[in-house]
Amino acid sequence: MFIGCQFSLYPMADGFVGVILDAIKDLDKYTKLRRQTDDLSTLLVGPPEELFPALEECFTAASRSGEHVVMQVTFSRGCPGEPDDPICRTDLLPPRPTDATPENLTRAALERLRKPEKSGIDTACQISLYPLGGGDHMADIYACIAFLKASTVNVTAKNFCTRLDGDAADVMAVIEQTFIGFAHPGGHVVLTATLSANSPSKKRAA
Amino acid sequence: MFIGCQFSLYPMADGFVGVILDAIKDLDKYTKLRRQTDDLSTLLVGPPEELFPALEECFTAASRSGEHVVMQVTFSRGCPGEPDDPICRTDLLPPRPTDATPENLTRAALERLRKPEKSGIDTACQISLYPLGGGDHMADIYACIAFLKASTVNVTAKNFCTRLDGDAADVMAVIEQTFIGFAHPGGHVVLTATLSANSPSKKRAA
């Protein structure tokens, strides 16, 4: 299994370099993550147990600058083009239930959903889940949307993605469950997430 | 068929609102596009004939501000959860070749690739193609990577995405061909693209 993400932080401020460097300065403590950075994004490879806390820390740290900040993340697991990597070994990826109906997938994800301590960062987010490589991918997506609607964040339908509003810690816990809880545990799954804080814009569509 | 994208502009500058408003002020001239904006992204629905020029214009206009600017786009076509929409009627989506070998898909995309006038905007980009709903999705991805390597931009492999470097006009022409030229024309296909200009960071990974 190969698990990881490419992520980028976009602080909408003249001092964006300082906001980014400050947000990522403590990433070394996540000793199970391998990192590689270029001018477009940072690659993190490793288990979800460290991936999600590390991303939450970067996003909340950048948001505490007070600037309008966006974090873009592309998560991937099981890509057939990537080698197995022992660094990605995880206990979080649940086995596919014997009776993997949409209702059972939704219920199991809700039971696993963490109720973390609030971060205090009001977060707007949109996510898309892409279960690749066959099977009825829309059934997994609809099961996931049912999970989102019953979860700890507010959910709004959009074209091509689903909008989540809530505390950054809840949003990240919901994204984690979306990533691990739907589509086959051995399948190729991609999830994209855009998280935003401190936007001066109104939330409603125009 | 339902074709469109969600896109966002991220100018890394205190004056980000002005850069964005200036970049999108001429979008009304694309009369075949339907638009909807919230605080996270702008939805464009319509044919590729207008989608790609509109996005290129927004990105190059924002980049001419001189600020470090990133544009994030999620393109989608054929999503089974969306209704058919006459506004999306297009002559650009090529029929699947009778003999759809990877080599034939690659060659046909290279033949169709536009050689546009340069924009003068040096652009770093990364893209990912997600052919959904079955079939051998990795075969389409490998055919697409062969096309990218023989195209008008410089290509670098990354985990979970492919990096493209070149003039913004060439990058956008290559993205257009990636979106329409691989995976079944009636299939559900998603393509994500991150375009960046004026970054102060070094291009190589560290």
Please tell me the predicted confidence (pLDDT) of residue A134.
66
A140: confidence class by pLDDT, cuts 50, 70, 90: confident
pLDDT digits (tens, 9 = 90+) for B99-117: 888 999 999 999 999 999 9
Interchain proximity A205–B36, CB inside 8 Å: yes
User: What are the Cα distances from residue B18, in Å, to A28, A204, B11, B13, B23?
Assistant: 37, 20, 9, 10, 8
Q: Mean of the per-residue pLDDT values for chain A? A: 94
**B124 domain residue, yes or no:** yes
Interchain proximity B192–A74, CB inside 8 Å: yes
Residue A133 confidence (pLDDT) above 80:
no
Please tell me the predicted confidence (pLDDT) of residue A58.
98
Residues of A in contact with B134 (CB under 8 A): 133-135, 137
Best residue in B1, B2, B7, B16 to probe A by mutation, most A CBs within 10 Å?
B16
Best residue in B1, B7, B27, B41 to probe A by mutation, most A CBs within 10 Å?
B41
B138: confidence class by pLDDT, cuts 50, 70, 90: confident
pLDDT digits (tens, 9 = 90+) for A38-76: 999 999 999 999 999 999 999 999 999 999 999 999 999
Please tell me the predicted confidence (pLDDT) of residue A189.
94
**B100 domain residue, yes or no:** yes
Buried b (16+ CB within 10 A) or exposed e, B134-145: eeebebbbbbbb
DSSP summary character for residue B84: -
Please tell me the predicted confidence (pLDDT) of residue B156.
97
Rounded to a whole number of angstroms, the distance from the CA of B113 to the nearest CA of chain A is 25
Structure tokens at B22: 């200036």
The residue of chain A with its CA nearest to that of B141 is: A81
Residue A206 confidence (pLDDT) above 60:
no
Please tell me the predicted confidence (pLDDT) of residue B205.
60
Please tell me the predicted confidence (pLDDT) of residue A205.
60
A139: confidence class by pLDDT, cuts 50, 70, 90: confident
- The CATH number assigned to the domain holding B47 equals 3.30.70.930
**B204 domain residue, yes or no:** no
Residue B17 confidence (pLDDT) above 70:
yes
**B205 domain residue, yes or no:** no
Query: Which of A40, A126, A158 lies closest to B126 in CB terms?
Result: A40
Interchain proximity B4–A130, CB inside 8 Å: no
Please tell me the predicted confidence (pLDDT) of residue A203.
72
Q: Report which of B195, B194, B187, B193 is spatially closest to residue B3, judged by C-alpha positions.
A: B187
Please tell me the predicted confidence (pLDDT) of residue B99.
87
Quick check: B168 and B136 in contact, CB under 8 A? no
Rounded to a whole number of angstroms, the distance from the CA of B115 to the nearest CA of chain A is 25
How do strand A122-132 and strand A34-37 relate by DSSP bridges? unpaired
pLDDT digits (tens, 9 = 90+) for B47-95: 999 999 999 999 999 999 999 999 999 999 998 888 889 999 999 998 8
**Mean predicted confidence (pLDDT) in B132-148:** 86
Quick check: B61 and B23 in contact, CB under 8 A? yes
Residues forming beta bridges with residue A143, ordered by sequence position: none
**B75 CB burial (10 A radius; 0-12, 13-18, 19+):** buried
Quick check: A191 and A179 in contact, CB under 8 A? yes
Residue B206 confidence (pLDDT) above 60:
no
**B122 domain residue, yes or no:** yes
Quick check: B112 and B94 in contact, CB under 8 A? yes
Interchain proximity A128–B38, CB inside 8 Å: no
The domain total for chain A is 1
Size of interface A-B (CB pairs under 8 A): 159
Q: How many CB atoms lie within 10 A of CB A25?
A: 10
Residue A89 confidence (pLDDT) above 60:
yes
Rounded to 5°, angle at Cα A82 from A78 and A83: 100
Q: Which residue has the higher pLDDT, A112 or A97?
A: A112
Structure tokens at A69: 């900040």
User: What are the Cα distances from residue B19, in Å, to A110, B29, B61?
Assistant: 41, 19, 8
Query: Which of A39, A188, A200 lies closest to B124 in CB terms?
Result: A39
Domain that holds residue B112: 3-197
* Three-class DSSP category at A132: strand
Half-sphere exposure of B138 (CA within 13 A, CB side): 10
Structure tokens at B61: 């206009």
**B183 domain residue, yes or no:** yes
Please tell me the predicted confidence (pLDDT) of residue B80.
84
Of how many residues is chain B composed? 206
From CA A108, how far away is CA B144, in angstroms rounded? 37
Structure tokens at A158: 């959009």
**A52 domain residue, yes or no:** yes
Residues of B in contact with A80 (CB under 8 A): 138
ipTM of the complex: 0.94
Rounded to a whole number of angstroms, the distance from the CA of B110 to the nearest CA of chain A is 24
**B203 domain residue, yes or no:** no
